[in-house]
Amino acid sequence: MTLRTIPSTLRGGLRTGSRHWLPGSTPWRCQSCRNQLPRRASSTSPEIEADKPFYITSPIFYVNAAPHVGHLYTMVLTDVLKRWQVLKGRKAILCTGTDEHGMKVQQAAAVANMPPKEFCDLTAGTFKHLAECIGLSNDHFVRTTDETHKDAVQYAWHILNARGYIYQSKHEGWYCVSDETFYPESSIEKRLDPNTGKTFMASQETGKEVQWTSESNYHFRLSAFKDRLLEFYKENPKFVVPNTRMKDVVNAVSAGLQDLSVSRPVERLSWGIRVPNDERQTIYVWLDALINYITKAGYPWAPGKESEGGWPADVQVVGKDIVRFHCIYWPAFLMALDLPPPKQILAHAHWTLGNQKMAKSTGNVVNPFLAMDRFGVDVIRYYLAHDGGIINDSDYANRFIVERYKKSLQGGLGNLASRIMRPKIWNVRKVVEAARDGTLRRTGALTRDHVGMLSNLSTIANTKIEELDPGGALQAIIQGIHQTNWYLQINAPWELAKTQDSGLPPGEQLKRAESNQLRIERTVYHCAEALRICGILLQPYMPTKAAELLDMIGVHESRRTFQDAQFGADFDYGVPIVPMGKGVWGSLFPPLPVED
């Protein structure tokens, strides 16, 4: 290999005469030795790891058709997990983007009568706009048509090839254009198309049509990584979440791995990155696409800079339909490159519509832009995070959104904020100030239980997040709101404020009034604390509405961190920063304009 075969932007990484002739490569060894796998991929040192930013990725979205609400769900999950880390004070990096090569894109561009790059520019722009509309706090938006990505892919190919992990041979098998992958004979079955009455061969896994293909291309020695992968899974039993999919991955690898075809003849697939030194072959779209995760993390790295961009990723969020690529192929590629695999992969379930899988190919989809226009960005974020499945699929319906809105947002959170902040019969600022000396903490059993719930809420939510269960964390927070509304209703401070007890002697009336006032202040303070704590914890889920709530109760912007989400952590709030509004239309969650 000569310098001219290395992508131009990466030539600086080659140091002729040095012990390691490629950054990140092993010392030179003979061909047979190179085929023997090292024990494990290199890992970052404790010193580097301590400064490593939290790195989270969404899958890069395929641009052969417009996005649907399933893509939006993946974005929301990824964004919540990233924002939670920021809430805790950690530097975090989120990478998303678009997958723009492959047969499906080539065919979609042809149908649209557009050059592939022009087609990709248009559809990638739609996904980028979706990310902006939902409030995705991404730091990177990678496109596989970027020159920097192309250079990284070809650089990785050079290393894999130089280490003997890539070889050329004839390949025959069942290929699915829709899934962009070959399937073994055992995974193929004959199916009947109910619309045409014709039979066709299909993947058992996805139901998509496959075609028999025979061609000469390059292969990756995936079979050599069986034991290495199983060892990695054993050492990292929570590598894939949920555990049911972790078991599926282990079972699949235990059953044996076949070498992977990693290129396509250019006459069949011209839209993609060419194999270095072989213009007759195009790099397989999945090898191309998976490299994106390290592209934006700065790969290839200069010595000592391996973790500055965040690699290894702390969490990679994907849909359950691409588990094999991310949990088997991807760690194997990384091991071959002598790079550490990601720490965890969250493989969430799908959204269905009418209990049928959403799919761009069938048109059974929900337009995410229309959903946000209809219900609002934060409402859609809330609904998707709350009802979306990690293990099991969830069915999308407008009536479910309306139900969540009325019960939890309007009737729960919004109602609590109005009942505490709007009345003139108490002053929230004075109540919070009165709580400084601990007087309002002298409570009965009912309030002790409520304080216990508030004291544990941030820990419970954080545990759910660490388990990669954002929906579970959100449900715990909202349950805290419902419990607080019940607590408020039982104590009924508005009724205590109206009690006169005129039949009592003057001295007894005074004692009763003082006792009632203490009970009013105690109730209002604990409900205000619930609003403050829950408002802080809801920021990753509903950034705009949570900020509006915290403005309503007067929490300073510097006191909205995870550390502040503790009972009694802030005694300086209580004066609204924004007008409280009047009536139902001026509340935090006004009535929906449509409810069907």
Q: What is the pLDDT of residues 291-322, one digit of tens each?
A: 999 999 999 998 888 889 999 999 999 999 99
Q: Is 211 exposed, middle or buried (0-12, 13-18, 19+ CB in 10 A)?
A: exposed
Q: What is the mean pLDDT of residues 168-193?
A: 74
pLDDT digits over 236-291, tens only? 999 999 999 999 999 999 999 999 999 999 998 999 999 999 999 999 999 999 99
pLDDT at res. 18: 31
CB contact set of 267 (below 8 Å; sequence gap of 6+): none
pLDDT at 46 (0 to 100): 46
Structure tokens at 315: 């969490």
Q: 155 to each of 43, 91, 288, 291, 328, how far by Cα in Å? A: 20, 29, 11, 10, 21
Residues 6+ apart with CB under 8 A from 446: 487, 490, 491
In angstroms, rounded to a whole number, what is the distance separating the alpha carbons of residues 317 and 437? 46
Q: Is the pLDDT of residue 147 over 60?
A: yes
Greater confidence, 438 or 445?
445
What CATH class does 399-586 carry? mainly alpha
What pLDDT does 594 receive? 61
Instruction: Give 3-375's CATH code, choosing from 3.40.50.2300, 2.40.320.10, 3.40.50.720, 3.40.50.620.
Output: 3.40.50.620
Per-domain residue ranges of the chain: 3-375, 399-586
Least confident of 103-117, 188-202, 211-225, 305-319: 188-202
Q: Is it the case that residue 367 has pLDDT exceeding 90?
A: yes
Question: How confident is residue 224, by pLDDT bands cut at 50, 70 and 90?
Answer: very high
| Under 8 Å between Cβ of 296 and 95 | yes
> Mean pLDDT across the chain, nearest whole number?
88
Provide the pLDDT confidence category of residue 510 given band limits of 50, 70 and 90: low
The predicted model gives 131-144 an average pLDDT of 98
Tell me the C-alpha distance between 326 and 315, whole Å: 12
Residue 268 to residue 261: CA distance in whole angstroms: 14
CA dist 388 → 16, 241, 326, 380 (Å): 53, 15, 21, 11
The mean-pLDDT minimum among 46-55, 302-311, 540-549 falls in 46-55
The H-or-E segment that residue 282 falls in is strand 278-283
pLDDT of residue 372: 97
One fold for both 3-375 and 399-586?
no
Token digits for 514?
């003082």
d(CA 328, CA 333): 9
Average pLDDT of 433-461?
A: 90
Distance CA 246, CA 374 (A): 37
Is the pLDDT at 180 greater than 70? The verdict is: no
Query: What does the DSSP 8-state code read for residue 593?
Result: S
Residue with more model confidence, 143 or 203: 143
Instruction: State percent of the chain over pLDDT 90.
Output: 71
User: What local confidence, expressed as pLDDT, does residue 40 receive?
Assistant: 42
Q: Which pLDDT belongs to residue 343?
A: 98
Residue 506's pLDDT is 61
Sign of the dihedral defined by the CA atoms of residues 162, 165, 169, 173, in that order: negative
Burial of 564 (0-12, 13-18, 19+ CB in 10 A): middle
Residue 68 CA to residue 546 CA, distance in Å, equals 26
**Residue 34 confidence class, pLDDT cut points 50, 70, 90:** very low
Write down the pLDDT at residue 178. Answer: 66
Residues for the chain: how many in total? 596
Asked if omega into 300 is within 30° of 0 (cis), the reply is yes
What DSSP string describes 89-147? T--EEEEEEEE--SHHHHHHHHHTTS-HHHHHHHHHHHHHHHHHHHT---SEEEETTSH
The helix (H) or strand (E) run that includes residue 403 is helix 398-404
DSSP one-letter code for 168:
E
Q: What's the pLDDT tens digit per position in 152-166? A: 999 999 999 999 999
